Amino acid sequence: MTALLPEGFRDRLPPFADSAAALEARVLEAARLHGYERVDPPLAEFADGLEMRLKAGGLHDAVRFVDPVSQRTLAIRPDITAQVARIAATRMGHHPRPVRLSYAGSVLKLRASQLAPARETRQIGCELIGLDSVAAAQEVVAVAVDMLGAAEVRGASIDFTLPDLVSTLAAGPLPVAPDQVATLRDRLDAKDAGAVAALAPAYLPLIEAAGPFEPAMERLRMFDTTGALASRLDALTRIATALDGRVALTLDPTERHGFEYQTWLGFSLFADGSAREVGRGGTYTVVHESGAEEAATGFSLFADPLVDRVVSVDRRRLFLPLGTPAADGAAMRAQGWVTVAALDAGDTPEAQVCTHLWVADAPRAL
């Protein structure tokens, strides 16, 4: 049998598609209750406009095509965050800050990775535009936790990072030559103690300051003898405290991968049963057309692993034998029943996976 679909694409069949839609609606409802309002940007945009708002190389793996109308290159979005930033900076630029926005949609990549083989994925997220304070981070992290809760994930945990940690230290108490900062960051991210020892041995303790939140924070505080990190560490403590033990917390202060465009805070979301992170967020900067910059805090959920399971929705299906009056079916549907009408004499409740049969004007359990 030939492959029906290209690698990295798939169909969701019953009952998974209904379940995924129901779970996604629950997840978005959690965001709505925190005041986040939906935006729905298009699947395709001008490639240059989209690229401007994506991190470096962001459009490298996007599907691009020439628009016969404008003669310009369009791209199918590989990410929605950049579109929401565009909306916040342009069409909603005049709204009072902070602006709370949520979104859900499909994104497409031309190439996938071995670890993440899907090329079409579902992205759900929230962006708080106008603030990157501790209070903003507390709210955004709480919303993320509520959304994971709405998806009923088990074993949710958050891994925090400090994306600008190395540049802060390198420009301050632990000087590093500017042309070596990127390499140092990279080697710290890789936990390559040998390379770090050769480059800047003072940074070695950072490799050890990763793991469960409390002990990692203690090591970081001991490392921060000059107090250069004090405000960041206090902020992390306040964010963690506000979570009040709702999820497990870890810290990986030098993790950089995936946080290339975050400012002082980054976090990854994990859940039992998913090999990779199920979400990622942090503080970042929205650039306006004028060049003005605006602080923002947000996160995206990589929603497929969260919604790919069958939730125990009401599975009652009522079989209406041939000749059942239409009004009877309508009355039962108005009560929330799923009705499946026989359309010819051969139809059976069994073939239609029905749980109930309409007999003598009432549903009888099968």
CB 185 within 8 A of CB 163: no
When asked if residue 326 is in the footprint of a copy of itself (CB under 8 A), the reply is yes
The stretch among 248-256, 274-282, 335-343, 357-365 that binds a copy of itself (CB under 8 A) is 335-343
Residue 247 has φ and ψ, to the nearest 5°, of -140, 160
347 is in an annotated binding site: no
Q: Which residues of 274-305 are buried (b: 16+ CB within 10 A; e: fewer)?
A: beebbbbbbbbebeeeeeeebbbbbbbbbbbb
179 is in an annotated binding site: no
Torsion of CA 176, 178, 183, 188, to 10 degrees: 40
**Max CA pair span of the chain:** 86
When asked if residue 173 is in the footprint of a copy of itself (CB under 8 A), the reply is no
Residue 142 or 193 having the CB closest to a copy of itself: 142
Rounded distance between C-alpha atoms, residue 224 and residue 297, angstroms: 25
Q: Which of residues 62-81 bind a copy of itself (CB under 8 A)?
A: 63-65, 67-70, 72, 74, 76
CB 153 within 8 A of CB 272: yes
124 is in an annotated binding site: no
In the complex, the smallest distance separating the C-beta of residue 223 from a copy of itself, rounded to whole angstroms, is 30
The dihedral through the CA atoms of 78, 20, 274, 244 has a sign that is: positive
218 is in an annotated binding site: no
> What does the radius of gyration of the chain's CA atoms come to, in whole angstroms?
25
x/- track of binding to a copy of itself for residues 127-156 (CB under 8 A): -x--x-x-xx--x--x--------------
When asked if residue 290 is in the footprint of a copy of itself (CB under 8 A), the reply is no
In the complex, the smallest distance separating the C-beta of residue 86 from a copy of itself, rounded to whole angstroms, is 7
When asked if residue 341 is in the footprint of a copy of itself (CB under 8 A), the reply is yes
When asked if residue 15 is in the footprint of a copy of itself (CB under 8 A), the reply is yes
Q: Which of residues 239-278 bind a copy of itself (CB under 8 A)?
A: 242, 244
When asked if residue 311 is in the footprint of a copy of itself (CB under 8 A), the reply is no
Tell me the number of residues near a copy of itself by CB under 8 A: 84
| 56, 57, 94, 96: residue in contact with a copy of itself (rule CB under 8 A) | 96
When asked if residue 52 is in the footprint of a copy of itself (CB under 8 A), the reply is no
When asked if residue 28 is in the footprint of a copy of itself (CB under 8 A), the reply is yes
When asked if residue 291 is in the footprint of a copy of itself (CB under 8 A), the reply is no
When asked if residue 49 is in the footprint of a copy of itself (CB under 8 A), the reply is yes
The stretch among 21-29, 227-235, 261-269, 278-286 that binds a copy of itself (CB under 8 A) is 21-29
| 108, 124, 148, 206: residue in contact with a copy of itself (rule CB under 8 A) | 108
When asked if residue 111 is in the footprint of a copy of itself (CB under 8 A), the reply is yes
Name the burial class of residue 227, with classes exposed (0-12), middle (13-18) and buried (19+) by CB atoms within 10 angstroms of its CB.
exposed
Contacts of residue 163, Cβ cutoff 8 Å, sequence gap at least 6:
256, 259, 260, 262, 263, 264, 265, 266, 282
When asked if residue 177 is in the footprint of a copy of itself (CB under 8 A), the reply is no
In the complex, the smallest distance separating the C-beta of residue 186 from a copy of itself, rounded to whole angstroms, is 27
138 is in an annotated binding site: no
The stretch among 33-41, 172-180, 186-194, 217-225 that binds a copy of itself (CB under 8 A) is 33-41
The DSSP letter of residue 353 is: T
When asked if residue 337 is in the footprint of a copy of itself (CB under 8 A), the reply is yes
Strands 356-359 and 317-320, by their bridges, are parallel
Cα atoms found within 13 Å of the Cα of residue 137, Cβ hemisphere only? 29
| 60, 106, 214, 285: residue in contact with a copy of itself (rule CB under 8 A) | 106
Cα atoms found within 13 Å of the Cα of residue 146, Cβ hemisphere only? 18
Among residues 107, 79, 86, 88, the alpha carbon closest in space to that of 36 is found at: 88
CB 323 within 8 A of CB 343: no
When asked if residue 57 is in the footprint of a copy of itself (CB under 8 A), the reply is no
Instruction: Name the 3-class secondary structure at 28.
Output: helix
Sheet strands side by side (includes 64-66): 44-46, 73-76, 64-66
Q: Which residues are annotated as a binding site for L-histidine?
A: 79-81, 123, 127
